[in-house]
Chain A
């Protein structure tokens, strides 16, 4: 089975711009979760989508949004970028139950200048 893929892998943007990141889950997985990792911080949960609906949301401002398509692919959008948004963004897919392992993609490294 193909693993979780994320595009792009690297991205440089300037403050005020917006960005869209994409995640393709493992075939058959209906849950996609997004995480942000900054230096010194653990994985901060952004949101989870399950069957095209946002099921859980972390404590991030409304500039961070996402969606999921009928094929389970998910996109994350960050509007009005700030310097502090520079981070590694990981997505993870799973079948959607808490006992099931989440499988991570390689991440998108975003640099905001």
Chain B
């Protein structure tokens, strides 16, 4: 059971949009609508920002959006702000009560 594949880094200037990809397989992302995304600042616990592919928890800005096509999910951060600089992890249900994470993407706001 390999980790989902994310780019190790991404960057953008304030106000710009950035999209982070998360590649899985037909056993996880491709067959389940249980993709979630987490934001993690240094030395903090992860925070849920997207669930069920596209939904945002209460309190998460609508600058964060999620999507999925085939075996790949994506997170888009629009109108980048300094506080968006963090690591972002995707996760998916992988069957048999198992979950799997991506390797993480460090987002830098230039």
Q: State whether these chains interact.
A: no
